[in-house]
Amino acid sequence: MRRPTMDDVAQRAGVSRALVSLVMRESPKVSPERRAAVLAAAADLGYSPHAMARQLAQRTSTVLAVLVSDLHNPYFADIVEAVDTAAREAGLDMILSTGGRRPAGERRAVETMLGFRPAGLVLLSPVVPQAVLEAASVSTPVVAVERTVALPGVDTVTDDGRAGSRLAVDHLAGLGHRDVVHLDGGQGAQSSTRRRGFVDAMRAHGLEPHVEPSEYTEEGGAAAVARLLAAGTPFTALVAANDINAIGALSALADAGLRVPEDVSVVGYDNTSLAAMRHVGLTTVDQPRAEMGRLAVAAVVERIAGRRTAPTRHRLQPTLVVRTTTGRR
């Protein structure tokens, strides 16, 4: 059961531990014969380096810690994938943890991850208090994705939520809609930005913005629509808080016997795999998630290399993906 160590390999290959170390790190200054002997011995023993011992000795980590706020939201799957790929290319090993959408859970997750002294910490739509980010940023490069943070030690990567909302409104206005309602994301990350963008864009079109409180959940979307209908609020189009919220809205509309897009048009946000399902076909705002993941890793790498100490603030432009839930008024 005991795993072989470098000393075991060294002994078997008839060389010193230091030489084995060099071979394992693919140093060029090892003669081909010795290298072969060491590799053979390692293979015989089933040896693989102890990553933790390595990091302790090196005093430098190759672990990129990533916190996902909600594993249930498919939005994150794409970003995580992009982060993973970029991390691999940068020679970093990604480890993931989740806080289950609860601040306390996220805090715990951040603390255990920091216990591993990672090379960097990437937080995806975190809901954890700023103080935690600040404390972490003292000793580790920290990047927040889809969360606005003004701390000097924390880099940020977000999409331009105002522009995203504007895209949705422009699209709907172009289709002749005048009574457009925004379902607001409440406490959720970036929701205030999206709301502001909606209001401004509506005004720019000379239209009266109506914002209905909601949240980033299916139930929230359904409830908001039910309220609108009960109140008799006139509307022919909805700009939902995000895709899941939009799905809830679609359900509520269907329950009320309203057809989409004939009676009501609906626009989501995030372009998750949910929206792309042919069965749903949601028109939605797409964030360049792959790019966002890449930039997040790049920001960490720059800080590690000491190439930068000032914070970066990436704000990416979203695009509109038109599917089947929006149509002419």
Partner DNA sequence: GGTCATCGTTAGAGCGCTCCAATCGTTGGA
Partner DNA sequence: TCCAACGATTGGAGCGCTCTAACGATGACC
Task: Using CB under 7 A, list all residues that contact DNA.
Answer: 2, 5-7, 15-19, 21-22, 24-25, 28-31, 33-34, 47, 49-50, 53-54, 56-60
Contacted by 107, from DNA, a second copy, none: CB < 5 to 8 Å by type: none
Q: Break the chain down into helix, strand, coil percent, rounded to 5.
A: 45, 15, 35
Convert residues 47-86 into a mask of x (bound to a second copy by CB under 8 A) and - (unbound): -xxxxxx-xx--------------xx-x-xxx-xx--x--
Contact 215, 185 (CB under 8 A): yes
What's the CA gap between 67 and 314, in Å, rounded? 19
Interaction with a second copy in 145-174: which residues (CB under 8 A)? none
**Residues in region 119-148 near a second copy by CB under 8 A:** 135, 138-139
List the single partner that 307 binds among DNA, a second copy, none, CB under 5 to 8 Å by kind: none
Three-state secondary-structure class, residue 317: coil
How does strand 283-286 pair with strand 319-321?
A: antiparallel
What backbone phi and psi angles, to 5 degrees, belong to 304? -60, -45
The DSSP string of 199-239 is HHHHHHTT---EEEE--SSHHHHHHHHHHHHHHT---SEEE
**Count of beta carbons in the 10 Å neighbourhood of residue 144:** 27
The answer to the question of residue 310 lying near a second copy (CB under 8 A) is no
| Residues binding a second copy: number (CB under 8 A) | 51
254 binds, among DNA, a second copy, none (CB under 5 to 8 A by kind): a second copy
Residue 247 as a binder of a second copy (CB under 8 A): the answer is: yes
Nearer to DNA, 4 or 105 (CB): 4
**Sheet strands (E) in the chain:** 63-68, 93-98, 120-124, 142-145, 154-159, 180-184, 210-213, 237-239, 265-269, 283-286, 313-316, 319-321
CB of 76 to a second copy, least distance (A): 8
Query: Which listed residue (60, 112, 233, 317) binds a second copy by CB under 8 A?
Result: 112
Q: Is 8 in the site for a second copy (CB under 8 A)?
A: no
Residues lying near a second copy in the complex (CB under 8 A):
1-3, 46, 48-53, 55-56, 71-72, 74, 76-78, 80-81, 84, 93-98, 100, 111-112, 114-117, 135, 138-139, 218, 222, 247-248, 250-251, 254-255, 273-274, 277-280
